[in-house]
Chains A and B, each alone.
Chain A
């Protein structure tokens, strides 16, 4: 229908222009600005001592945070889906809390709890030789905090969907709890797990606000890659700021592409939803209201 086509084309155009101006164009400028003074300057900016250190620290922190979140995420997901216990619903709601809490509040919270001088547990921990705030453990905690729900949110729906039948079958065939977990549960959730891990990793590499507060932003010690971007920009080293940004942005986009390739296309899920039966009616699916 002509009316339909008109609506469809105008909506498509509006959406493409909107996303182009808001996301595509600005993001593509990062690449342009990063290489504006040539590839040499770009590499120099990244290999500069404090920047290189910051990226190294970021990577260590991200790996730790992802490992912690993965182990914890699998554990919590199985508990939430497979078991009933008092407070399950509350726990399931609270798990999502870190996604809605401001990174600045996260930083403040960790500072108040583990701050070296006047935090709740900080002084006691420092007496036993553990420094949390203004040190790597604090940065890892802040990063783990903000990316905590990502693995869980991916695994829970899949665990719910596959049900317990396969696990029960494995048990009836003589597998113990660990064997069942390793040979049945993990393979069943592996793509969701990979997806969650990639998302966590992307989030962990890029955390800024919470890390800024708990790290103290000490150059060459607790300064992470995102903090480098801020500092360089404010010191009018724009190209250096864009160079680091480019690496971070590339990592993020790469993560997204990996995830998109892993996740089955939406078209497939549409056809499995049993929307239409005959092949002839497939083209009508795109008809708008």
Chain B
């Protein structure tokens, strides 16, 4: 064997060490038991309560709830806006990641902090923050409150870090020499971008897009103050669920919630598949 590069060591490391994992010892078994009990109490049981409440109502109730005009409008709006926001994130997120990795300028470290603000900011504050610039008292005279643009803005704000943070480490590991190699072989800048950079980043971009979509679909807090929750116009799925809960219609709330859960689950499975395919390569 020859000495592999550090990147390889890093990639191979976990796989080699995975063999170091041992079968459960009695103490670890007890630990696993406790962990599973808590995980069930906190996450699994409540989520199954949602699913079971849905199935108790039967397929007809589920379908009726989903197709109820106001709910259906909310679902269409949420999915549509989530798709738009995700596409925006794919383009701008990749760009931001590129600038963070390959560019050098004063204050880049500050930018690193700024990127994460949407992660850390309470969602209700995020809504208020956007309202300050794009609401009725906007200092630049742009008032989009209670419109679909507001929904787009809110979702964009809370999902901005996802693509950036998934693409950044991959780009960092990517040797700039591969791009130079492509150029020395005669590839134009565009060809290098299309055939070298994009294929290498594609899994990371997809992963970021999946996370961003899942988050956008389920967003609630940032929309409360900003979107006005106008039925048929700016009301999103999460708000519909809340309305059902407030009206005591748990079966309907559970039906819409199950739909969201399904999307979340799908995103997780997709991510798992993508990361495994990348690890294999």
Q: Direct contact between A and B in the complex (CB less than 8 angstroms)?
A: yes
Chain A residues packing against B (C-beta within 8 Å): 3, 7-8, 11-12, 14-16, 18-19, 21-27, 29-30, 32-33, 72, 75-76, 78-79, 81-85, 91, 93-98, 100-114, 118-121, 141, 144-145, 148, 160-161, 163-164, 177, 199, 202-203, 205-209, 212-213, 225-226, 229-230, 233-234, 241-242, 245, 248-249, 252-253, 255-257, 259-260, 265-266, 269-270, 272-276, 284-289
A105 touches B260 (CB 8 A): yes
Using Cβ atoms and an 8 Å threshold, which residues of chain B touch A209? 123, 220-221, 238, 242
A84 touches B23 (CB 8 A): yes
Specify the chain A residue showing the minimal Cβ separation from B183: A289
Specify the chain B residue showing the minimal Cβ separation from A89: B272
Specify the chain A residue showing the minimal Cβ separation from B128: A245
B257 touches A102 (CB 8 A): yes
Q: In whole angstroms, how far apart are the Cα atoms of A227 and B156 in the complex?
A: 23
A8, A25, A248, A256: the one within 8 Å of B113 (CB):
A256
B157 touches A82 (CB 8 A): no
B160 touches A249 (CB 8 A): no
Specify the chain B residue showing the minimal Cβ separation from A259: B116
B119 to chain A, nearest CB (A): 8
B17 touches A83 (CB 8 A): no
A101 touches B218 (CB 8 A): yes
B160 touches A120 (CB 8 A): no
Q: In whole angstroms, how far apart are the Cα atoms of A245 and B126 in the complex?
A: 9
B171 to chain A, nearest CB (A): 10
User: Is B205 among interface residues, defined by CB-CB distance under 8 A?
Assistant: no
B189 touches A113 (CB 8 A): no
Chain B residues packing against A (C-beta within 8 Å): 5-7, 10, 13-14, 17, 20-25, 27-28, 31-32, 34-36, 38-39, 42-47, 49-50, 53, 92, 95-96, 98-105, 109, 111-118, 120-125, 128-130, 132-134, 139, 153, 156-157, 160, 168, 172-173, 175-177, 179-180, 189, 192-193, 196-197, 211, 214-215, 217-221, 224-225, 237-239, 241-242, 245, 250, 253-254, 257, 260-261, 264-265, 267-269, 271-272
Q: In whole angstroms, how far apart are the Cα atoms of A249 and B123 in the complex?
A: 10
Using Cβ atoms and an 8 Å threshold, which residues of chain B touch A110? 46
B102 touches A286 (CB 8 A): yes
Q: In whole angstroms, how far apart are the Cα atoms of A8 and B35 in the complex?
A: 49
B35, B101, B257, B271: the one within 8 Å of A108 (CB):
B257
A14, A94, A102, A265: the one within 8 Å of B219 (CB):
A102
A104 touches B157 (CB 8 A): no
The 7 listed contacts between A and B (C-beta, < 8 Å) are: A15-B92, A102-B218, A108-B245, A112-B46, A113-B49, A163-B17, A275-B177
Q: In whole angstroms, how far apart are the Cα atoms of A121 and B157 in the complex?
A: 38
A12 touches B267 (CB 8 A): no
B43 touches A94 (CB 8 A): yes
Q: In whole angstroms, how far apart are the Cα atoms of A126 and B254 in the complex?
A: 23
Using Cβ atoms and an 8 Å threshold, which residues of chain B touch A199? 120
B22 touches A83 (CB 8 A): yes
A275 to chain B, nearest CB (A): 6
A289 touches B179 (CB 8 A): yes
Specify the chain A residue showing the minimal Cβ separation from B139: A29
